[in-house]
Amino acid sequence: MRIGVDVHVLSGKFQGSRTYLLNLYQHVLKKQQNNQYYFFGHWNGEIPFGNEVSYVNFKSSSKLKRLTYQTNPLLKENNISLYHTTYISPIQTSCDTIVTIHDILFETHPQFFTKQEVWRNKLLVRRSAMKAKQIHTVSEYSKQAIVKLYGIPEEKVYVIPNGVDLSKFSADNKQEAKGIVLQKYGVENYILTVGRIEPRKNHISLLKAYQLLKERKVNCGKLVIVGKPDFSSKPFFDMIDNLNLQQDVQIIDSVDDHMLPYIYRAADLFVYPSFAEGFGIPPLEAMASGVPVISSNTTAIPEIIGNAGLLIDPNSSEQIAAAIDKLLKQPEMMEQLSEKGIIQSRKWSWEQAAHLFEQAIMKL
């Protein structure tokens, strides 16, 4: 087959869908022999998948034009027989489509999205799912939500999960990582969280939990947050001021793929109290890095973490604080969770994802 893949997100902000496409196809291309791949995006010289594939440039960066009338002529021009998109497929395509829908949280948790996002996605993601020959998603939780809310047969939805790059995210050389992070960011012995600063990630409950620990004289080091401010982030910054945590919270809003593994590896604890996730890549990366994980007991997160972390109610700052306190006072439990997390992380590999992808498209 001549397979086209919409990878325009590779030139956008760092997010789960970008990580997914980049890693999935790097491993698919190692395995496949029979298919030809055409990557549709915005190419300015950097080619992420090598020279054995083709790169097709969208005519403009306009999302509206891409989804309405610019893509289909390119599909015809390149004789594409199957087109793989993320969330939303073009209105018209001359070939069959696969759509990867990481989650439909805009349906189940609309309070964490803008009204415009909810309106657009409810209309266009549902339409793309109905039209597609296959739907791919990243967790059993997301699959069941898609089947239930969209009334789609289970056999049409395939779980092709995220993975973790164990060559990057590992527990090796922790002392070296601590030295690198201390030199670059001036911080050590810290609690870490990773994720865009937006309401769904629930940073405010984490701030409140951290304040409780301070009041109880728990020695927990700094709170390091890796993530760019996104929509509705003002209440988060207001909360830092209200709780007088300016000296205790360090925000790293820009980090490259090279530095992120060091930041994970050097952390004492990883806390991820997100309200809702279709998968949850940061806890997986933390587990692979040998860092004890505390995370939410909601949506797909328990499916990913299993028994390798402490699960808390994201609505309870008290529970978050208690879990952090418990681990900091029990080094042997931290060590056990670190070991369990490393083992759990090995269940989620990009090689496995590529294998499941290949199996799925063979059924078309």
Q: What is the per-residue pLDDT for 12? A: 63
First to last CA, the chain: 11
DSSP structural state of residue 69: I
Chosen CATH of 2-163+349-361 out of 3.60.15.10, 3.40.50.2000, 1.10.10.10, 3.40.50.1820: 3.40.50.2000
| Whole-angstrom distance, CA of residue 81 vs CA of residue 109 | 35
91-to-6, 120, 131, 197 alpha-carbon distances in Å:
14, 13, 10, 32
**For the whole model, what pTM was predicted?**
0.94
Q: What single-letter amino acid sits at 8? A: H
Give strand pairing partners of 296: 312
Domains 2-163+349-361 and 174-345 fall in the same CATH topology: yes
Angle subtended by helix axes 281-288 and 331-345, to nearest 10: 110
The 10s digit of each residue's pLDDT in 30-82 is 986 789 999 999 998 788 999 999 999 999 999 999 999 999 999 999 999 99
Q: What is the per-residue pLDDT for 359? A: 95
| Whole-angstrom distance, CA of residue 326 vs CA of residue 336 | 13
Architecture of domain 174-345: 3-Layer(aba) Sandwich (3.40)
Q: What is the per-residue pLDDT for 13? A: 62
Q: Which of 88, 89, 90, 74 is nearest to 39 (CA)?
A: 74
Query: What are the domain boundaries of the chain?
Result: 2-163+349-361, 174-345
> In sequence order, what are the residues at sequence separation of 6 or more whose Cβ sits closer than 8 angstroms to the Cβ of residue 31?
354, 355, 358
Residue numbers in the chain where pLDDT is lower than 70: 12-15, 32
